């Protein structure tokens, strides 16, 4: 297909979901990197409106099956909801575009790569038109777990998340802006199956798939906090071999896209590209236990930036 002969910079890129929280950041990152062959797509609701792209405004086109399958897009970066992705992504694939999808529609589908470039980037090359972008908590978690697993083997992981409101999209951000401080509260605004939120089961299943550790014991408790941008996670892990906090700190400091900070926070992470990791210490309550705290911009490395990095990997690969 056409993308095989092009670099991402030359490729014709469609940003689908361009009016949303992730779409806006995707456009910002593309403009900052100097891409100009970019089109913006949304639903019927936003078709004909415009979105900022560098110094100009892009008119939003409706993401119809016809428009997406017309054969004039090389790469499509989807950030629409799961049902819209299920409906629209196959049309873009039919039109010859390599698609990176940020919803949960395809993440656990056998044969569809679920990719964090720093962790399992080579898997992206196995795609047949679709690469799935993981959940915004899974991405930073696996960036931190990978070097520790490589050094000492992961035996168990427990996570508590503190997720920002932008993770729930542009409408939720608007709601937070309209609240008084007294109205701020923790939320658990995911689907509940009577035991777990789907966010918690996604974090477990996606981490296992990306790390290629299908039996890894991992449990999570997810909450949303009244912070606009930037997710945080407290992580308790057990390793098969002993791993000192000092060695873990060295490994994390050398890991791609990770920056060691004493006290990572969403405020520090927001607007940046790195996963901030700190509070690295022993957990004396278990054998070979470590505790750490991380934070990451959920709209950038947790979504738009990771997808762009995947798209970079796809260039030069025939679908």
Restricting to residues 32-51, name those near ligand NAP by CB under 6 A. 42-43, 45-46
Q: Of 41 and 154, which has the nearer Cβ to ligand NAP?
A: 41
Supply the minimum distance, in Å, between the C-beta of residue 305 and ligand NAP. 11
Restricting to residues 139-198, name those near ligand NAP by CB under 6 A. 166-167, 169-171
What phi and psi, each to the nearest 5 degrees, are found at residue 305? Answer: -70, -45
Q: Of 280 and 310, which has the nearer Cβ to ligand NAP?
A: 310
Restricting to residues 241-260, name those near ligand NAP by CB under 6 A. none
- Three-point CA angle 157, 163, 164, nearest 5°: 160
14 binds ligand NAP (CB under 6 A): no
Whether the CB-CB separation of 259 and 276 falls below 8 Å is answered with yes
**Residue of 103, 138, 161, 207 that binds ligand NAP (CB under 6 A):** 103
Helices (H) and strands (E) in the chain, counts: 10, 13
3 state SS of 5? helix
8-state DSSP, 180: -
138 binds ligand NAP (CB under 6 A): no
In our burial notation (b when 16+ CB lie closer than 10 A, e otherwise), range 158-197 reads bbebbbbbbbbeeebbeebeeeeeeeeeeeebbeeeeebb
**Residue of 11, 53, 76, 102 that binds ligand NAP (CB under 6 A):** 102
Whether the CB-CB separation of 312 and 140 falls below 8 Å is answered with no
x-or-dash string of contact with ligand NAP, 286-305, rule CB under 6 A: ------------xx--xx--
Positions that interact with ligand NAP (CB under 6 A): 17-23, 42-43, 45-46, 63, 79-82, 84, 102-103, 136, 166-167, 169-171, 298-299, 302-303
């Amino acid at each position: 297909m056409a993308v095989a002969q092009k670099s991402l910079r030359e490729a014709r890129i469609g940003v689908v979901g361009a009016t949303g929280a992730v779409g806006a950041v995707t456009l910002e990152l593309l403009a900052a990197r100097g891409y100009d062959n970019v089109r913006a797509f949304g639903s019927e609701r936003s078709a004909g409106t415009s979105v900022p792209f560098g110094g100009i405004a892009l008119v939003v086109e409706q993401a119809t099956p016809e428009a997406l399958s017309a054969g004039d897009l090389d790469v499509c970066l989807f950030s629409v909801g799961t049902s819209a992705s299920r409906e629209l992504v196959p049309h873009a694939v039919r039109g010859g575009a390599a698609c990176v999808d940020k919803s949960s529609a395809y993440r656990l589908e056998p044969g569809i790569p679920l990719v964090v470039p720093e962790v399992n980037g080579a898997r992206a090359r196995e795609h047949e038109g679709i690469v799935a972008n993981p959940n915004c908590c899974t991405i930073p978690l696996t960036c931190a777990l990978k070097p520790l697993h490589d050094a000492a083997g992961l035996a168990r992981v427990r996570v508590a998340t503190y997720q920002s409101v932008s993770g729930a999209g542009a409408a939720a951000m608007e709601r937070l802006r309209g609240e008084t401080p007294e109205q701020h509260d923790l939320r658990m605004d995911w689907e509940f199956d009577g035991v777990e939120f789907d966010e918690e089961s996604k974090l477990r299943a996606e981490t296992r798939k990306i790390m290629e550790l299908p039996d890894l014991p991992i449990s999570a408790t997810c909450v949303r906090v009244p912070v606009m941008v930037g997710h945080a996670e407290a992580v308790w892990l057990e390793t098969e071999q002993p791993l000192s906090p000092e060695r873990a700190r060295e490994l994390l400091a050398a890991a791609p896209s990770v920056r060691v900070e004493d006290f990572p926070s969403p405020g520090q992470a927001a607007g940046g590209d790195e996963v901030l990791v700190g509070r690295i210490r022993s957990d004396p309550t278990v054998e070979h236990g470590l505790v750490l705290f991380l934070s990451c911009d959920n709209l950038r490395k947790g979504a738009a930036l990771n997808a762009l990095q995947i798209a970079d990997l796809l260039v030069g690969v025939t679908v």
